[in-house]
Amino acid sequence: MTRPVEEGDKQRLANLIHFETRVHRHLDWRTPLDWIGYQPFFLIERGTQIQAALACPPDPPSIAWIHLFAVASESDPLRAWNSLWPAALDVLYQAGCRTIVAISLQDWFRRLLLGSGFSLVNQVIMLEWDRPAIPTRIDLPAVKIRALEVPDLPILEALDRAAFGPIWHNSSDSLEFAFRQSAIATVAEVDGEIVAYQISTTTQMGGHLARLATRPDFQQLGIGTALLQDLIREFVRRGALRITVNTQQDNKSSISLYEKAGFVRTGESYPVYQFNN
């Protein structure tokens, strides 16, 4: 039986996610279980066993990432997908969401996407900084860097929307999740107005820059560089040995910013697939 996920399914879903091998999880601020209560989030149930689950609630409303697709070992992935995907697609269509996106790290899931009309649109690449030199502070007297605060979040959502293409926008809810999990989060102000921000987390070896954005009309002025170098110095002060960042393969300005700060490409990449509903 295929049906929407309910709160009472949480423990069985957790078992499916953590103990099965065919599990796609989006690289997200939220865990798959955080999406319970949002639709579309469907499962296939046989008796008391969950055979498969698919979660792709839109966030923001026009974009839906596939946050979870998991299949029990005794179930056929293609058959499960062909049951869950049309149900999810119908919900998204009714909600007016026309763009569905997924980052696939596994061949079995990639084949399902390609067989359902998804196409490769980009690659997310990883860069790392491993202390070749601590950057000197850039002197930009008009720019003030300070800690990000909760009241700043609505401003960041608008800034994010201006700085990135549609599939990379962060909603206010996502930004709040990111902020709550951050290790270092700062903004850059010019004349008291926020024009750039960054949100970073910690890793076993150091730190991960999860998001950096500069308002388009303030780009190419050294503000992103100042924010990045301030972040590196703070991570080094905390003992970080390595800092990582992901960005889109076609985002030449971001790649240039990171490489000038001493980041180098690791060779890792993650394919991005898109479906237009």
Q: What CATH number is attached to the domain comprising 168?
A: 3.40.630.30
pLDDT of residue 133: 72
> For residue 255, what are the domain limits?
126-276
Same domain, 91 and 41: yes
Same domain, 60 and 168: no
pLDDT of residue 257: 95
Q: Is 14 helix (H, G, I), strand (E, B) or coil?
A: helix
Strand partners, 208: 201, 244
| pLDDT tens digit sequence for 147-160 | 999 999 999 999 99
Residue 137 pLDDT class (50, 70, 90 cuts)? confident
Same domain, 130 and 259: yes
Work out how many domains the chain is built from and give that number.
Answer: 2
Same domain, 141 and 258: yes
Same domain, 102 and 156: no
Query: Strand 264-276's sheet: what is its strand order?
Result: 63-65, 99-103, 264-276, 119-129, 242-248, 206-214, 193-202, 184-190, 143-147
pLDDT, the chain, mean? 95
Same domain, 222 and 87: no
Asked if residue 219 lies in contact with residue 201, where contact means CB atoms within 8 angstroms, the answer is: no
Q: What is the mean pLDDT of residues 254-263?
A: 94
Same domain, 245 and 147: yes
Same domain, 145 and 263: yes
Q: Tell me the residue type at 252.
A: K
Same domain, 171 and 251: yes
| pLDDT tens digit sequence for 188-234 | 999 999 999 999 999 888 999 999 999 999 999 999 999 999 999 99
Q: Which two tokens stand for residue 2?
A: 């295929």
pLDDT of residue 6: 97
Same domain, 112 and 131: no
Strand partners, 125: 247, 269
| 134: pLDDT strictly greater than 80 | no
- Please identify, among 61, 90, 117, the residue that sits at the C-terminal boundary of a domain: 117
- Please identify, among 117, 134, 164, the residue that sits at the C-terminal boundary of a domain: 117
Same domain, 152 and 260: yes
Same domain, 256 and 136: yes
- Please identify, among 71, 90, 117, the residue that sits at the C-terminal boundary of a domain: 117
Residue 136 pLDDT class (50, 70, 90 cuts)? confident
Instruction: Say which residue, 10 or 135, is predicted with more confidence.
Output: 10
Asked if residue 83 lies in contact with residue 2, where contact means CB atoms within 8 angstroms, the answer is: yes
